[in-house]
Structure 1
Amino acid sequence: MMNLFSTFDPTTNFSLSLNWMSTLICILFIPSLFWIIPSRMNLLWMKMILLLNNEFKVLIGKKMKGSTLIFISLFSLILLNNFLGLFPYIFTSTSHMTMTLALALPMWLSFMIYGWFNNTMHMFAHLVPQGTPAVLMPFMVCIETISNVIRPGTLAIRLSANMIAGHLLLTLLGNTGSMMSLYALNLLLITQMLLLILESAVAIIQSYVFAILSTLYSSEVI
Protein backbone atom coordinates (compact mmCIF):
# COMPACT_ATOMS: atom_id res chain seq x y z
CA MET A 1 0.00 0.00 0.00
CA MET A 2 2.88 2.40 0.77
CA ASN A 3 4.44 1.79 -2.65
CA LEU A 4 1.10 2.28 -4.36
CA PHE A 5 0.48 5.70 -2.84
CA SER A 6 4.10 6.88 -3.02
CA THR A 7 3.45 8.29 -6.54
CA PHE A 8 1.30 10.97 -4.90
CA ASP A 9 4.06 12.07 -2.55
CA PRO A 10 5.62 15.31 -3.89
CA THR A 11 9.06 14.54 -2.41
CA THR A 12 9.33 10.98 -3.68
CA ASN A 13 11.13 11.52 -6.98
CA PHE A 14 13.56 14.39 -6.28
CA SER A 15 15.20 15.93 -3.26
CA LEU A 16 14.03 19.28 -4.72
CA SER A 17 10.30 18.96 -5.11
CA LEU A 18 9.32 20.11 -8.60
CA ASN A 19 6.05 18.22 -8.65
CA TRP A 20 4.14 21.33 -7.68
CA MET A 21 5.30 22.99 -10.93
CA SER A 22 2.42 21.38 -12.84
CA THR A 23 0.02 23.48 -10.78
CA LEU A 24 1.82 26.69 -11.78
CA ILE A 25 2.45 25.69 -15.41
CA CYS A 26 -1.28 25.18 -16.00
CA ILE A 27 -1.75 28.94 -15.46
CA LEU A 28 0.32 29.56 -18.60
CA PHE A 29 -2.23 27.66 -20.69
CA ILE A 30 -5.12 29.84 -19.51
CA PRO A 31 -5.65 32.82 -21.85
CA SER A 32 -4.79 36.05 -20.04
CA LEU A 33 -8.16 37.48 -21.12
CA PHE A 34 -9.90 35.28 -18.54
CA TRP A 35 -7.84 36.20 -15.49
CA ILE A 36 -6.24 39.61 -16.11
CA ILE A 37 -8.41 42.74 -16.12
CA PRO A 38 -7.11 45.07 -18.88
CA SER A 39 -5.27 48.00 -17.33
CA ARG A 40 -5.50 51.60 -18.49
CA MET A 41 -2.11 51.24 -20.15
CA ASN A 42 -3.33 48.16 -22.01
CA LEU A 43 -6.50 49.95 -23.14
CA LEU A 44 -4.47 52.98 -24.26
CA TRP A 45 -2.08 50.75 -26.22
CA MET A 46 -4.97 48.91 -27.92
CA LYS A 47 -6.63 52.25 -28.78
CA MET A 48 -3.37 53.48 -30.34
CA ILE A 49 -2.95 50.25 -32.33
CA LEU A 50 -6.51 50.47 -33.68
CA LEU A 51 -5.95 54.10 -34.73
CA LEU A 52 -2.71 53.15 -36.50
CA ASN A 53 -4.42 50.19 -38.14
CA ASN A 54 -7.17 52.41 -39.59
CA GLU A 55 -4.66 54.99 -40.82
CA PHE A 56 -2.33 52.43 -42.40
CA LYS A 57 -5.26 50.72 -44.15
CA VAL A 58 -6.18 54.00 -45.84
CA LEU A 59 -2.57 54.57 -46.97
CA ILE A 60 -2.05 51.04 -48.30
CA GLY A 61 -5.28 51.27 -50.28
CA LYS A 62 -6.07 47.63 -51.03
CA LYS A 63 -8.00 45.71 -48.38
CA MET A 64 -5.53 42.97 -47.53
CA LYS A 65 -6.01 41.21 -44.20
CA GLY A 66 -3.03 41.59 -41.90
CA SER A 67 -1.23 44.02 -44.21
CA THR A 68 -0.91 46.63 -41.46
CA LEU A 69 0.45 44.20 -38.86
CA ILE A 70 4.10 44.51 -39.94
CA PHE A 71 3.96 48.33 -39.82
CA ILE A 72 2.27 48.42 -36.40
CA SER A 73 4.90 45.97 -35.10
CA LEU A 74 7.64 48.13 -36.60
CA PHE A 75 6.20 51.25 -34.97
CA SER A 76 5.96 49.49 -31.59
CA LEU A 77 9.53 48.15 -31.79
CA ILE A 78 11.08 51.53 -32.67
CA LEU A 79 8.92 53.39 -30.14
CA LEU A 80 9.91 51.11 -27.23
CA ASN A 81 13.60 51.22 -28.21
CA ASN A 82 13.50 55.02 -28.46
CA PHE A 83 11.91 55.35 -25.02
CA LEU A 84 14.28 52.87 -23.41
CA GLY A 85 17.18 54.92 -24.75
CA LEU A 86 16.01 57.91 -22.70
CA PHE A 87 16.81 56.12 -19.43
CA PRO A 88 20.34 56.55 -18.02
CA TYR A 89 22.91 53.84 -18.80
CA ILE A 90 20.66 52.09 -21.34
CA PHE A 91 22.06 51.56 -24.83
CA THR A 92 20.07 53.40 -27.53
CA SER A 93 20.03 50.84 -30.33
CA THR A 94 18.02 53.02 -32.73
CA SER A 95 20.81 55.63 -32.80
CA HIS A 96 23.07 53.19 -34.70
CA MET A 97 22.94 52.56 -38.43
CA THR A 98 23.32 48.82 -37.82
CA MET A 99 19.88 48.71 -36.24
CA THR A 100 18.10 51.21 -38.48
CA LEU A 101 19.46 49.75 -41.73
CA ALA A 102 18.55 46.25 -40.53
CA LEU A 103 14.96 47.48 -40.25
CA ALA A 104 14.79 49.59 -43.44
CA LEU A 105 16.85 47.64 -46.01
CA PRO A 106 15.19 44.17 -45.88
CA MET A 107 11.72 45.72 -45.90
CA TRP A 108 12.48 48.02 -48.86
CA LEU A 109 14.16 45.13 -50.71
CA SER A 110 11.15 42.86 -50.20
CA PHE A 111 8.85 45.61 -51.51
CA MET A 112 11.00 46.06 -54.60
CA ILE A 113 11.23 42.33 -55.33
CA TYR A 114 7.49 41.89 -54.88
CA GLY A 115 6.70 44.92 -57.06
CA TRP A 116 9.03 44.07 -59.95
CA PHE A 117 7.99 40.42 -60.08
CA ASN A 118 4.22 40.86 -59.67
CA ASN A 119 3.47 44.39 -60.97
CA THR A 120 6.24 45.02 -63.48
CA MET A 121 4.32 47.46 -65.68
CA HIS A 122 3.07 49.33 -62.62
CA MET A 123 6.67 49.75 -61.41
CA PHE A 124 7.78 50.99 -64.84
CA ALA A 125 4.92 53.49 -64.82
CA HIS A 126 6.18 54.88 -61.51
CA LEU A 127 9.54 55.73 -63.10
CA VAL A 128 7.93 58.26 -65.44
CA PRO A 129 5.40 60.63 -63.81
CA GLN A 130 2.24 61.36 -65.79
CA GLY A 131 2.49 64.29 -68.17
CA THR A 132 6.31 64.23 -68.47
CA PRO A 133 7.56 65.52 -71.88
CA ALA A 134 9.32 62.93 -74.06
CA VAL A 135 12.59 64.90 -73.94
CA LEU A 136 12.75 64.74 -70.13
CA MET A 137 11.79 61.06 -69.81
CA PRO A 138 15.38 59.67 -69.61
CA PHE A 139 16.26 62.21 -66.91
CA MET A 140 13.06 61.46 -64.96
CA VAL A 141 13.82 57.73 -65.07
CA CYS A 142 17.30 58.40 -63.62
CA ILE A 143 15.95 60.71 -60.91
CA GLU A 144 13.15 58.31 -59.91
CA THR A 145 15.55 55.35 -59.85
CA ILE A 146 18.00 57.21 -57.60
CA SER A 147 15.16 58.33 -55.30
CA ASN A 148 13.99 54.70 -55.03
CA VAL A 149 17.47 53.35 -54.31
CA ILE A 150 18.27 55.86 -51.54
CA ARG A 151 14.99 55.27 -49.68
CA PRO A 152 16.32 52.72 -47.15
CA GLY A 153 19.32 54.97 -46.50
CA THR A 154 17.16 58.02 -45.87
CA LEU A 155 14.90 56.03 -43.53
CA ALA A 156 17.87 54.72 -41.56
CA ILE A 157 19.78 58.03 -41.40
CA ARG A 158 16.68 60.04 -40.42
CA LEU A 159 15.96 57.81 -37.42
CA SER A 160 19.55 57.42 -36.20
CA ALA A 161 20.45 61.11 -36.72
CA ASN A 162 17.44 62.33 -34.74
CA MET A 163 18.21 59.92 -31.90
CA ILE A 164 21.90 60.89 -31.84
CA ALA A 165 21.24 64.66 -31.96
CA GLY A 166 19.02 64.81 -28.88
CA HIS A 167 21.11 62.43 -26.79
CA LEU A 168 24.31 64.24 -27.74
CA LEU A 169 22.83 67.60 -26.71
CA LEU A 170 21.67 66.18 -23.36
CA THR A 171 25.13 64.66 -22.74
CA LEU A 172 27.04 67.83 -23.64
CA LEU A 173 24.86 69.99 -21.40
CA GLY A 174 25.05 67.45 -18.58
CA ASN A 175 28.87 67.37 -18.66
CA THR A 176 29.07 71.14 -18.08
CA GLY A 177 27.06 70.94 -14.84
CA SER A 178 30.09 70.38 -12.57
CA MET A 179 31.63 73.70 -13.66
CA MET A 180 28.54 75.86 -13.12
CA SER A 181 27.36 78.04 -10.27
CA LEU A 182 24.24 77.15 -8.28
CA TYR A 183 22.03 79.60 -10.21
CA ALA A 184 23.28 78.36 -13.58
CA LEU A 185 22.87 74.74 -12.43
CA ASN A 186 19.18 75.32 -11.67
CA LEU A 187 18.76 76.80 -15.13
CA LEU A 188 20.57 73.80 -16.61
CA LEU A 189 18.26 71.35 -14.83
CA ILE A 190 15.18 73.12 -16.20
CA THR A 191 16.71 73.07 -19.69
CA GLN A 192 17.53 69.36 -19.36
CA MET A 193 13.97 68.55 -18.32
CA LEU A 194 12.55 70.51 -21.26
CA LEU A 195 14.95 68.72 -23.62
CA LEU A 196 13.92 65.38 -22.14
CA ILE A 197 10.26 66.19 -22.87
CA LEU A 198 11.28 67.17 -26.41
CA GLU A 199 13.19 63.89 -26.80
CA SER A 200 10.12 61.96 -25.66
CA ALA A 201 8.12 63.68 -28.40
CA VAL A 202 10.89 62.98 -30.94
CA ALA A 203 10.87 59.29 -29.92
CA ILE A 204 7.16 59.06 -30.79
CA ILE A 205 7.37 61.19 -33.94
CA GLN A 206 10.35 59.34 -35.43
CA SER A 207 8.82 55.90 -34.91
CA TYR A 208 5.60 57.19 -36.49
CA VAL A 209 7.46 58.74 -39.46
CA PHE A 210 9.43 55.53 -40.04
CA ALA A 211 6.24 53.43 -40.04
CA ILE A 212 4.27 55.89 -42.21
CA LEU A 213 7.01 56.18 -44.85
CA SER A 214 7.38 52.39 -44.94
CA THR A 215 3.61 52.13 -45.49
CA LEU A 216 3.75 54.69 -48.32
CA TYR A 217 6.64 52.83 -49.98
CA SER A 218 4.67 49.57 -49.80
CA SER A 219 1.55 51.20 -51.28
CA GLU A 220 3.51 52.08 -54.43
CA VAL A 221 4.30 48.45 -55.28
CA ILE A 222 0.81 46.95 -54.77
Structure 2
Amino acid sequence: MKMMTNLFSSFDPLSSIMNLSLNWLSTLLGLLFIPYLFWFVPSRWSLLWSMITTTLHKEFKTLLGPANPGGTIIFVSLFSLIVFNNSLGLLPYVFTSTSHLTMTLTLALPLWISFMVFGWLHHTQHMFAHLVPTGTPGPLMPFMVLIETVSNIIRPGTLAVRLAANMIAGHLLLTLLSSTGPSLSTSLVYLLLISQILLLLLESAVAVIQSYVFAVLSTLYASEVN
Protein backbone atom coordinates (compact mmCIF):
# COMPACT_ATOMS: atom_id res chain seq x y z
CA MET A 1 0.00 0.00 0.00
CA LYS A 2 2.87 2.33 0.77
CA MET A 3 4.46 1.52 -2.58
CA MET A 4 1.28 2.40 -4.46
CA THR A 5 0.93 5.64 -2.51
CA ASN A 6 4.46 6.66 -3.47
CA LEU A 7 3.91 5.52 -7.05
CA PHE A 8 0.87 7.70 -7.59
CA SER A 9 2.15 10.63 -5.56
CA SER A 10 3.40 12.35 -8.72
CA PHE A 11 -0.24 12.70 -9.82
CA ASP A 12 -1.44 14.02 -6.46
CA PRO A 13 -1.79 17.83 -6.20
CA LEU A 14 -0.40 18.23 -2.67
CA SER A 15 1.23 21.70 -2.75
CA SER A 16 -1.25 24.30 -1.57
CA ILE A 17 -1.56 27.66 0.09
CA MET A 18 -4.85 28.52 1.80
CA ASN A 19 -6.41 25.35 0.25
CA LEU A 20 -5.53 26.59 -3.26
CA SER A 21 -3.68 23.87 -5.14
CA LEU A 22 -0.52 25.33 -6.63
CA ASN A 23 0.19 22.34 -8.86
CA TRP A 24 -2.63 23.30 -11.20
CA LEU A 25 -0.77 26.52 -12.00
CA SER A 26 1.42 24.38 -14.25
CA THR A 27 -1.36 24.77 -16.84
CA LEU A 28 -0.40 28.45 -17.09
CA LEU A 29 3.31 27.83 -17.58
CA GLY A 30 2.82 28.12 -21.32
CA LEU A 31 2.20 31.83 -20.89
CA LEU A 32 5.76 32.13 -19.57
CA PHE A 33 7.39 30.11 -22.34
CA ILE A 34 5.50 30.91 -25.53
CA PRO A 35 5.14 34.71 -25.88
CA TYR A 36 8.79 35.71 -26.22
CA LEU A 37 9.31 33.20 -29.04
CA PHE A 38 6.67 34.88 -31.13
CA TRP A 39 8.11 38.36 -30.79
CA PHE A 40 11.12 37.22 -32.83
CA VAL A 41 9.30 36.77 -36.12
CA PRO A 42 10.10 35.02 -38.35
CA SER A 43 11.90 32.51 -36.15
CA ARG A 44 12.19 28.79 -36.76
CA TRP A 45 9.86 27.98 -33.86
CA SER A 46 7.16 30.42 -34.95
CA LEU A 47 7.34 29.22 -38.57
CA LEU A 48 7.12 25.58 -37.43
CA TRP A 49 4.14 26.25 -35.18
CA SER A 50 2.48 28.33 -37.91
CA MET A 51 2.88 25.43 -40.34
CA ILE A 52 1.37 22.99 -37.82
CA THR A 53 -1.63 25.18 -37.00
CA THR A 54 -2.25 25.94 -40.70
CA THR A 55 -2.27 22.22 -41.49
CA LEU A 56 -4.68 21.55 -38.61
CA HIS A 57 -6.88 24.45 -39.72
CA LYS A 58 -7.20 23.00 -43.23
CA GLU A 59 -7.99 19.52 -41.91
CA PHE A 60 -10.54 20.74 -39.36
CA LYS A 61 -12.12 22.98 -42.02
CA THR A 62 -12.62 19.92 -44.22
CA LEU A 63 -14.25 18.02 -41.33
CA LEU A 64 -16.53 20.88 -40.31
CA GLY A 65 -17.54 21.78 -43.87
CA PRO A 66 -18.09 25.19 -45.48
CA ALA A 67 -20.91 26.10 -43.07
CA ASN A 68 -18.47 26.86 -40.22
CA PRO A 69 -15.39 28.59 -41.68
CA GLY A 70 -14.29 30.05 -38.33
CA GLY A 71 -15.08 27.05 -36.17
CA THR A 72 -11.58 25.66 -36.53
CA ILE A 73 -10.15 28.31 -34.19
CA ILE A 74 -11.48 26.68 -31.02
CA PHE A 75 -10.22 23.22 -32.03
CA VAL A 76 -6.74 24.44 -33.02
CA SER A 77 -6.59 26.29 -29.69
CA LEU A 78 -7.74 23.13 -27.90
CA PHE A 79 -4.97 21.15 -29.58
CA SER A 80 -2.40 23.79 -28.62
CA LEU A 81 -3.49 23.79 -24.96
CA ILE A 82 -3.45 20.00 -24.61
CA VAL A 83 -0.17 19.39 -26.46
CA PHE A 84 1.59 22.02 -24.38
CA ASN A 85 0.31 20.63 -21.08
CA ASN A 86 1.19 17.08 -22.15
CA SER A 87 4.71 18.18 -23.09
CA LEU A 88 5.22 20.13 -19.86
CA GLY A 89 4.25 17.02 -17.90
CA LEU A 90 7.35 15.26 -19.26
CA LEU A 91 9.63 17.75 -17.50
CA PRO A 92 10.87 16.79 -14.01
CA TYR A 93 8.87 18.17 -11.06
CA VAL A 94 6.18 19.62 -13.33
CA PHE A 95 2.61 18.61 -12.46
CA THR A 96 0.81 16.84 -15.37
CA SER A 97 -2.61 18.46 -15.30
CA THR A 98 -3.91 16.47 -18.30
CA SER A 99 -3.47 13.21 -16.36
CA HIS A 100 -6.46 14.18 -14.18
CA LEU A 101 -10.09 13.73 -15.17
CA THR A 102 -10.77 17.08 -13.52
CA MET A 103 -8.85 18.73 -16.35
CA THR A 104 -9.86 16.51 -19.26
CA LEU A 105 -13.56 16.47 -18.37
CA THR A 106 -13.46 20.26 -18.03
CA LEU A 107 -12.35 20.37 -21.65
CA ALA A 108 -14.61 17.64 -23.06
CA LEU A 109 -17.91 18.10 -21.21
CA PRO A 110 -18.65 21.79 -22.05
CA LEU A 111 -17.81 21.17 -25.71
CA TRP A 112 -20.12 18.14 -25.91
CA ILE A 113 -22.96 19.93 -24.09
CA SER A 114 -22.68 22.95 -26.41
CA PHE A 115 -22.79 20.66 -29.46
CA MET A 116 -25.85 18.87 -28.14
CA VAL A 117 -27.73 22.05 -27.20
CA PHE A 118 -26.98 23.66 -30.56
CA GLY A 119 -27.89 20.52 -32.50
CA TRP A 120 -31.19 19.82 -30.75
CA LEU A 121 -32.28 23.48 -30.90
CA HIS A 122 -31.34 24.24 -34.51
CA HIS A 123 -31.18 20.85 -36.25
CA THR A 124 -33.72 18.76 -34.33
CA GLN A 125 -34.79 16.60 -37.28
CA HIS A 126 -31.17 15.94 -38.22
CA MET A 127 -30.36 14.88 -34.65
CA PHE A 128 -33.32 12.47 -34.59
CA ALA A 129 -32.16 11.00 -37.93
CA HIS A 130 -28.74 10.29 -36.39
CA LEU A 131 -30.35 8.01 -33.80
CA VAL A 132 -31.43 5.48 -36.46
CA PRO A 133 -28.81 4.51 -39.07
CA THR A 134 -29.99 4.19 -42.66
CA GLY A 135 -31.29 0.72 -43.56
CA THR A 136 -32.10 -0.36 -40.00
CA PRO A 137 -34.97 -2.94 -39.90
CA GLY A 138 -38.13 -1.76 -38.16
CA PRO A 139 -38.01 -4.20 -35.20
CA LEU A 140 -34.43 -3.13 -34.40
CA MET A 141 -35.11 0.61 -34.44
CA PRO A 142 -35.89 0.95 -30.67
CA PHE A 143 -32.68 -0.89 -29.80
CA MET A 144 -30.64 1.22 -32.23
CA VAL A 145 -32.06 4.41 -30.70
CA LEU A 146 -31.05 3.18 -27.25
CA ILE A 147 -27.55 2.16 -28.40
CA GLU A 148 -26.96 5.43 -30.27
CA THR A 149 -28.21 7.45 -27.30
CA VAL A 150 -25.88 5.68 -24.88
CA SER A 151 -22.90 5.98 -27.25
CA ASN A 152 -23.65 9.69 -27.61
CA ILE A 153 -23.89 10.27 -23.87
CA ILE A 154 -20.58 8.56 -23.06
CA ARG A 155 -18.61 10.55 -25.66
CA PRO A 156 -17.26 13.22 -23.28
CA GLY A 157 -16.29 10.48 -20.82
CA THR A 158 -14.40 8.49 -23.45
CA LEU A 159 -12.60 11.64 -24.61
CA ALA A 160 -11.56 12.53 -21.07
CA VAL A 161 -10.59 9.00 -19.98
CA ARG A 162 -8.58 8.34 -23.17
CA LEU A 163 -6.40 11.41 -22.67
CA ALA A 164 -5.95 10.98 -18.91
CA ALA A 165 -5.25 7.23 -19.13
CA ASN A 166 -2.58 7.65 -21.81
CA MET A 167 -0.84 10.35 -19.79
CA ILE A 168 -0.95 8.29 -16.58
CA ALA A 169 0.24 5.04 -18.23
CA GLY A 170 3.45 6.49 -19.64
CA HIS A 171 4.35 8.39 -16.48
CA LEU A 172 3.74 5.32 -14.31
CA LEU A 173 5.96 3.20 -16.53
CA LEU A 174 8.75 5.77 -16.32
CA THR A 175 8.35 5.95 -12.54
CA LEU A 176 8.36 2.16 -12.11
CA LEU A 177 11.51 1.72 -14.19
CA SER A 178 13.34 4.58 -12.49
CA SER A 179 12.54 3.19 -9.02
CA THR A 180 14.54 0.05 -9.85
CA GLY A 181 17.73 2.02 -10.59
CA PRO A 182 19.36 1.94 -7.11
CA SER A 183 19.21 -1.86 -6.94
CA LEU A 184 20.76 -2.49 -10.37
CA SER A 185 24.37 -3.06 -11.34
CA THR A 186 26.33 -0.52 -13.39
CA SER A 187 25.83 -2.29 -16.71
CA LEU A 188 22.08 -2.60 -16.13
CA VAL A 189 21.86 1.08 -15.17
CA TYR A 190 23.16 2.02 -18.62
CA LEU A 191 20.53 -0.22 -20.15
CA LEU A 192 17.91 1.40 -17.93
CA LEU A 193 18.98 4.88 -19.06
CA ILE A 194 18.68 3.89 -22.72
CA SER A 195 15.21 2.43 -22.12
CA GLN A 196 14.15 5.56 -20.23
CA ILE A 197 15.30 7.79 -23.09
CA LEU A 198 13.40 5.66 -25.60
CA LEU A 199 10.30 5.75 -23.39
CA LEU A 200 10.62 9.52 -23.09
CA LEU A 201 10.70 9.80 -26.89
CA LEU A 202 7.63 7.55 -27.06
CA GLU A 203 5.84 9.69 -24.48
CA SER A 204 6.69 12.82 -26.46
CA ALA A 205 5.01 11.25 -29.49
CA VAL A 206 2.03 10.15 -27.37
CA ALA A 207 1.65 13.71 -26.02
CA VAL A 208 1.23 15.04 -29.56
CA ILE A 209 -0.87 12.14 -30.85
CA GLN A 210 -3.36 12.24 -27.97
CA SER A 211 -3.76 16.00 -28.37
CA TYR A 212 -4.46 15.49 -32.06
CA VAL A 213 -6.93 12.65 -31.36
CA PHE A 214 -8.79 14.76 -28.78
CA ALA A 215 -9.07 17.71 -31.17
CA VAL A 216 -10.07 15.60 -34.19
CA LEU A 217 -12.76 13.67 -32.29
CA SER A 218 -14.15 16.94 -30.92
CA THR A 219 -14.26 18.28 -34.47
CA LEU A 220 -16.06 15.14 -35.70
CA TYR A 221 -18.63 15.43 -32.92
CA ALA A 222 -19.20 19.07 -33.88
CA SER A 223 -19.59 18.18 -37.56
CA GLU A 224 -22.36 15.67 -36.76
CA VAL A 225 -24.73 18.33 -35.42
CA ASN A 226 -24.74 20.39 -38.66
TM value normalised by structure 2: 0.82
Matched, 1:169 2:166: no
**Residues 116-153 of structure 1: CA deviation (Å, up to 9, x unaligned):** 00000000000000000000000000000000000000
Question: In structure 2, which of residues 57, 62, 73 is the aligned counterpart of residue 58 of structure 1?
Answer: 62
* 2:149 alignment partner AA: T
Match of 1:142, SS state, is helix
Question: In structure 2, which of residues 197, 204, 215 is the aligned counterpart of residue 200 of structure 1?
Answer: 204
1:158 matched to which residue of 2?
Answer: 162
Measured in 2, the distance between the counterparts of 1:84 and 1:37 equals 24
1:219 matched to which residue of 2?
Answer: 223
* 2:160 alignment partner AA: A
How many residue pairs are counted as aligned between the two chains?
189
Kindly state the Cα deviation for residue 99 of structure 1 after the two structures are TM-superposed: 0.1
Matched, 1:135 2:139: yes
* 1:182 alignment partner AA: T
Measured in 2, the distance between the counterparts of 1:104 and 1:186 equals 41
User: Bigger radius of gyration, 1 or 2?
Assistant: 1
Matched, 1:79 2:77: no
- Percent same amino acid at aligned positions? 67
Structure 1: 5+ residue stretches without partners: 1-31
Question: In structure 2, which of residues 173, 187, 203 is the aligned counterpart of residue 183 of structure 1?
Answer: 187
Measured in 2, the distance between the counterparts of 1:155 and 1:37 equals 35
1:126 matched to which residue of 2?
Answer: 130
1:38 matched to which residue of 2?
Answer: 42
2:74 matched to which residue of 1?
Answer: 70
Match of 1:105, SS state, is helix
Measured in 2, the distance between the counterparts of 1:119 and 1:132 equals 22
Kindly state the Cα deviation for residue 38 of structure 1 after the two structures are TM-superposed: 1.4
> Is contact 1:60–1:219 with CA below 8 Å preserved after alignment?
yes
Measured in 2, the distance between the counterparts of 1:80 and 1:62 equals 29
* 2:185 alignment partner AA: S
Kindly state the Cα deviation for residue 106 of structure 1 after the two structures are TM-superposed: 0.4
> Is contact 1:57–1:63 with CA below 8 Å preserved after alignment?
no
* 2:116 alignment partner AA: M
Measured in 2, the distance between the counterparts of 1:221 and 1:174 equals 47
**Residues 88-113 of structure 1: CA deviation (Å, up to 9, x unaligned):** 00000000000000000000000000
Measured in 2, the distance between the counterparts of 1:63 and 1:36 equals 35
Kindly state the Cα deviation for residue 66 of structure 1 after the two structures are TM-superposed: 1.4
Kindly state the Cα deviation for residue 62 of structure 1 after the two structures are TM-superposed: 2.8
Kindly state the Cα deviation for residue 67 of structure 1 after the two structures are TM-superposed: 0.7
TM value normalised by structure 1: 0.84
Map 1:90-109 → 2, pairs under 5 A: 90-109=94-113
